[in-house]
Structure 1
């Protein structure tokens, strides 16, 4: 009974974006019983940026066969993250009985996936460092960018980063420019048109290589010759610890760039951590959009301000 109570309370806090230490305690309290309970607890822990604990590996493996295909695939993704060499040793019937595998698990089984390309990841990090001299402009979707006429300055940067649905009637090129070198996408974005001249795509969230089981947009991007990257889990974990809430895509990308060699050198942020514009408008390109309730926007603004004091432009 206590386990079910903790599960209900944990689900409520997660929906509210309350990623406090108490959520970790609730996740650990659920780790009783078979594979179903372990998987639910492990996925909740991973929302906080914590991979599968080693002590849970053996019981989760023992419970794999009892999991339905979709949940088994998710469990294999969690295992691939912490014990990658284990997957090829599992019985074929256990692996083949899973649904679509997360890219990180498929990679360990010799099945290449767009989200699990180690060479592309290395190339991207080298490219990021090479663009620092000319500047990275991370352009969020805050409505506060309206009327500021920063488009030409943005497009003059060596690298321009955009987020999710950044093109729309409310986003004028005079204010935000038109280039897009890096497109950062939430996993639920599937139908947006690919920007012209796109060089890289990044899926936001806690390293979806080991979580996503199906993301059709990755295949569209691959066919267009655009490599797809994910953010390392420790970066997500650090942001969660700072905010006590899940970070927005813009905040997460800033945290990633700031953690790389060179720190804030050449990095500029616009429309990220700027709050709501006059009149209550939140999203520049989509005027009817409303702020996500799970993010702590005031905490993000304070963190961006702290980073600006450290050198973020």
Structure 2
């Protein structure tokens, strides 16, 4: 197994986040990269560079106007506000089926779900190469590798077709799944992040050619709050092709593994030819978000159960924030994946 990474992913250095009425430092620090690379090294994986697949695979999931917004909004807004540090919404559009304004301030409110995804001067480079990293890892699967790891940062599973949020801008795991589908695969996305993959769910909600599964803390008491309930099963052609497995806050390894068993049964019934894992490490007992109590050895059990499916596995990095065990958790997970 190989890991894919691009150094430009360090350039995104967000400072802003609102929490409990206070401006606090955004937890998606560039230093996460060093911890994740430590885990990659601990697992003994070689690291290869990402290759550029261009805009087309990104536009397969995200609209051209949203991609243009992400690429240009900081420079456009700075022309209006010379002392601008980061692009952060001061308002959020209450609905999206409204007139689309090309005024920069209006677009910021339209293209964000919350205040946790600020865009700095160099953010687009990181956003773009995070997605290209996931696509390059997908190429490894297409070349016959049984598993691959994409160190994608910033994360992606909270990104909708046209909205950023939850530290996410482009839906990396969704982009990779759609790319694999376009090459003849039947992908299932399983999201093991502590938070529900609301963006991924929304993108594929009316489709039956990509199965989406998410195991997460019950959103009645946890971010993203407004999506992730067990009753959300898809719509139209996608009815029955979205599965949410919300867990009580504080659940530990055995409860988590029981939910994972249900998820893998659905993947078997779907007839998936490849699994895309939205690999959140923030379910760990020491993660700052304190949602679940998965242990470091528990991540090896999760990986082992997924690997036992016998399908190619593309692992795309999602959450997991600064704490001493972050790299160890990744190493535990990757070491239990097939290395061929």
Q: TM-score range by the shorter chain?
A: under 0.3
Going by fraction, where is strand more abundant, 1 or 2? Answer: 2
Going by fraction, where is helix more abundant, 1 or 2? Answer: 1
TM-score by length of 2: 0.26
